[in-house]
Amino acid sequence: MAYAFYRAGFAAVDVHMTDLIDGRQSLADFKGLVACGGFSYGDVLGAGGGWAKTILHNPRLAEMFISFFNRTDSFALGVCNGCQMMSHLRSVIPERRIGRASNATHRSSSKADWCRWRSLSRRRSSLPAWPEVVRRLPTRMAKAVQYSPPTSSAARPRGDALCRFAGAGDERYPYNPNGSAAGITGLTTADGRFTIVMPHPERVFRTVQMSWQPPGLGEDSPWMRMFRNARRWVG
């Protein structure tokens, strides 16, 4: 994740929760916040919820995150366990529809764990940190079927759904590996500044990370636009 942002022109800093708790770092010093996957805070169901409670139950940390989210020049991305974490912080995120009816720690309908490739269909285009041209993107799923991402059907009329599993049968396995409603696998706020996704875009931002690619892509995969768009938006 750090390298993807570095490649896009950011200075990526590895900040631990203990750095924030002990006052060694502050979110006030950063434009972007990325809650990474890779089973941050534990390879267990509900780890993201525990991560969020570490913030919400610490008044100083809660105020730090609230201040960050309410700035006009900040953005945040949550992936996998980070998706869980940010969905549990929805009460302090402006335009909190990002986590509406979130059930990000429920076991999947397939009751299986696997790691494979799936294609996502992007549903929105006016986002500062999302590919604006490519309609269908392959992405890496890592034990993703342990979770159901935020998937309320109430999200659909409001346009919260950022991306869905592509292919026939949005709600049928294996096209939809975790049983999420309408195949939704990512949500965002209306302005696109706060985004959560279950699959891992950082695991496929280089063409060599793809098991197959159309000719002529060059060194970077289409996912790299997500990170570069964020850099252009920051200015």
Domains of the chain with bracketed CATH: 2-234 (3.40.50.880)
d(C-alpha 116, C-alpha 141), whole Å: 5
Mean pLDDT for all residues in the chain: 77
Q: 122 in helix, strand or coil?
A: strand
Name the more confident of 108 and 42: 42
163 tagged catalytic: no
Catalytic residue among 80, 83, 88, 163: 80
Residue 162's pLDDT is what?
72
Percentage of the chain modeled with pLDDT above 70: 69
Extended beta strands in the chain, E state: 32-35, 75-79, 115-122, 136-142, 161-165, 184-188, 194-197
80 tagged catalytic: yes
Name the more confident of 188 and 88: 88
Residue 38's pLDDT is what?
79
Catalytic residue among 36, 88, 163, 202: 202
202 tagged catalytic: yes
Q: Tens of pLDDT along 196-225?
A: 888 888 888 898 888 777 788 889 988 888
Quickly state the pLDDT bin for 41 (edges 50, 70, 90).
confident
Residue 151's pLDDT is what?
45
What lies within 8 Å, CB to CB, of 56 at 6+ separation is: 62, 88, 89, 91, 92
pTM for the predicted model, two decimal places: 0.82
